[in-house]
Copies of this chain bind each other. A is one copy, B any other.
Amino acid sequence: MDTTKKTIILFSGDFDKVMAAFIIANGAAAMGDDVTIFATFWGLNIFRRAEKVQSAAKKSTLQSMFGKMMPKGTGKLGLSKMNFAGMGAPMMKKVMKGAGAMSLEDLVDSAREQGVKFIACTLSMDILGFTEEEMIDGLEYAGVASYLSEADEANVNLFI
């Protein structure tokens, strides 16, 4: 058994759960583990570019609607609980800052610098109509078979 690999399926796009995922990923990477974050569904939102991207891809009306209503990047995520119509996450960020905790943006950067692999789920991207040009740089694109291969090599596999 390879005790030096961890995988996280990041299904959630909730600020608090994404935080948890990146804290674990950074912690494991700091201990020398290989870490893979496989972002799928709502979790894909954190890897969307915040700026508007002119995409040549044809999207259905519903795909455009989903795309517009879902947050782009880490800045606009909501809390899974006590979201207070969107005020929960800014409040949580403020207490985090007060406590001297790393911001989510710093955690993502740190994960990247530590070599955490980010994989965007291609099936979810097809469904939601996301194209690679709408996503941040440095992602790999793959499906469930790829996730499973990674998980088979890991000793801790979480679904968040």
Minimal beta-carbon separation of A45 from chain B (angstroms)? 10
Chain A, range 128-149, C-beta contacts under 8 Å to B: 128-129, 143-145, 147-148
Chain A contact residue count (CB 8 A cutoff): 57
**Bitwise interface map of A from 116 to 160 toward B, beta carbon under 8 Å scored 1, else 0:** 000000010011110000000000000111011001100111111
Residues in B with CB closer than 8 Å to A70 are 82
Q: Determine the distance from Cα of A98 to Cα of B60 in the docked complex, in whole angstroms.
A: 8
Partner of A27, one of B98, B129, B148: B148
Residue among A60, A127, A128 with most chain B CB within 10 A: A127
Contact B95 A60 (CB under 8 A): yes
Copies in the assembly, this chain:
3
Minimal beta-carbon separation of A16 from chain B (angstroms)? 6
Contact B144 A126 (CB under 8 A): no
Chain A, range 12-41, C-beta contacts under 8 Å to B: 13, 16-17, 20, 23-24, 26-28, 30-31, 33, 40-41
Residues of A at the B interface (CB closer than 8 Å) are: 1, 3, 6, 9, 11, 13, 16-17, 20, 23-24, 26-28, 30-31, 33, 40-42, 60, 62-63, 65-66, 69-70, 80-82, 91-92, 94-96, 98-101, 123, 126-129, 143-145, 147-148, 151-152, 155-160
Closest 9 CB pairs of A and B: A27-B144, A158-B159, A99-B126, A99-B127, A151-B156, A156-B157, A62-B95, A60-B98, A3-B152
